[in-house]
A and B are shown apart, each in its own frame.
Chain A
Amino acid sequence: LAKTTQPISMDSYEGQEVNITCSHNNIATNDYITWYQQFPSQGPRFIIQGYKTKVTNEVASLFIPADRKSSTLSLPRVSLSDTAVYYCLVGSYNTDKLIFGTGTRLQVFP
């Protein structure tokens, strides 16, 4: 099973770029990497998903090296509203388990 490891917390200031790395050494061939964002008292919300190399959308970028043993979520120019917990998810429906990481609590300061 592809267990994931993330930093417990990170601090940043408004306008800075934030990079959150997730380690998944045992990722399987069919596994995708997905990131979710969670605000207090809400369920997680999908941010981005990728399989390899780089994926970018209007919210974030996801960098995945060739060995796929880690991935980095990049949030450009964060604002106060980006303060949340970010989860890294590795898995596919070809495996029995969907593994969420423990999450990274990002605090953005003015």
Chain B
Amino acid sequence: DVKVTQSSRYLVKRTGEKVFLECVQDMDHENMFWYRQDPGLGLRLIYFSYDVKMKEKGDIPEGYSVSREKKERFSLILESASTNQTSMYLCASSPYSGGTSTDTQYFGPGTRLTVL
């Protein structure tokens, strides 16, 4: 079974802190994604990556950056956390489909981040 793990289930940070959310997948997937999930808004894509050192902006990249130095690891960075970034953050991975379909995305359990 594909396993996607996230570094923390719960995280509390203060406004202005730099926050790192780590995601690791063990199935050699090319694609990795970061979403945030808020009540009434569903899942919104922040950033995704097709390959090591590659990244693409999603719907809501403002206030976030990402890093993918190794294939299995995709990090989400909040340079200066703000209260409106309090949310559930979900990481996902999927294999490369050749650009013809959306392959199954495998999600991690999520990190609930609270910014005070």
Binding site for B on A (CB under 8 A): 30, 32, 34, 36, 41-46, 49, 51, 87, 89, 91-94, 96-103
Interchain residue pairs with CB less than 8 A apart (5): A34-B102, A41-B109, A43-B109, A92-B101, A92-B102
Taking CB atoms, residues of chain B closer than 8 Å to A34 are 102, 104
Total number of A-B contacts with CB less than 8 angstroms?
Answer: 70
Q: In this complex, which of A44, A89, A101 has the most chain B Cβ atoms within 10 angstroms of its Cβ?
A: A44
**Cβ of A42 and Cβ of B102 under 8 Å apart?**
no
Taking CB atoms, residues of chain A closer than 8 Å to B74 are none
Binding site for A on B (CB under 8 A): 4, 31, 33, 35, 40-45, 48, 50, 56-59, 90, 92, 97, 99-102, 104-110
Taking CB atoms, residues of chain B closer than 8 Å to A36 are 105
**Cβ of A49 and Cβ of B104 under 8 Å apart?**
yes
The prevalent SS among residues of A at the interface is: loop
**Cβ of B42 and Cβ of A92 under 8 Å apart?**
no
Taking CB atoms, residues of chain B closer than 8 Å to A44 are 43, 90, 105, 107
Q: In this complex, which of A41, A43, A87 has the most chain B Cβ atoms within 10 angstroms of its Cβ?
A: A43
**Cβ of B33 and Cβ of A43 under 8 Å apart?**
no
Considering only CB atoms, which chain B residue lies closest to A4 in the complex? B42
CA gap between A77 and B50 in the complex, in Å: 39
Taking CB atoms, residues of chain B closer than 8 Å to A99 are 45, 59
CA gap between A45 and B4 in the complex, in Å: 12
Q: In this complex, which of A30, A45, A93 has the most chain B Cβ atoms within 10 angstroms of its Cβ?
A: A93
Taking CB atoms, residues of chain B closer than 8 Å to A46 are 104-106
Q: Contact partner of B42 among A45, A94, A101, CB < 8 A?
A: A101
Nearest 9 interchain pairs by C-beta = A43-B107, A102-B42, A100-B43, A46-B104, A93-B99, A32-B101, A103-B42, A32-B102, A100-B42
Q: Contact partner of A100 among B44, B104, B106, B108, CB < 8 A?
A: B44
**Cβ of B4 and Cβ of A98 under 8 Å apart?**
no
CA gap between A44 and B101 in the complex, in Å: 18
Taking CB atoms, residues of chain A closer than 8 Å to B31 are 93
CA gap between A41 and B48 in the complex, in Å: 22
